[in-house]
């Protein structure tokens, strides 16, 4: 599991520390990943994806879904 956004490493470190995330946050320089998942734009939209080991998206939702809801899609 990881998070990704176009903000820089310094911003990520503060955000991760504030929210106590147990996973890394990656920098999407040039918003290439955001473009692939239609999240690129003037305002970055928080979107949660659960992608299976086969590369198929099992869950996708904008906003902040509950972790249990996301994990239920893994079954």
**pLDDT per position as a tens digit, 55-65:** 888 998 888 88
**pLDDT per position as a tens digit, 3-12:** 888 888 888 8
The owner of tokens 């918003």 is 31
**pLDDT per position as a tens digit, 18-32:** 888 778 888 988 888
Beta strand pairing status for 47-51 and 57-62?
antiparallel
pLDDT at 39 over 80: no
Tell me the C-alpha distance between 63 and 47, whole Å. Answer: 6
Predicted local confidence at residue 64, as pLDDT: 82
pLDDT at 38 over 80: no
């Amino acid at each position: 599991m990881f998070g990704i956004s176009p903000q820089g490493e310094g911003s990520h470190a503060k955000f991760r520390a504030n929210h106590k995330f147990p996973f890394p946050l990656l920098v999407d320089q040039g918003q290439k990943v955001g473009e692939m998942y239609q999240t690129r734009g003037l305002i970055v939209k928080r979107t949660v994806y659960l992608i299976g080991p086969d590369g198929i998206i099992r869950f996708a939702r904008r906003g902040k879904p509950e972790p249990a809801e996301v994990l239920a899609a893994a079954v």
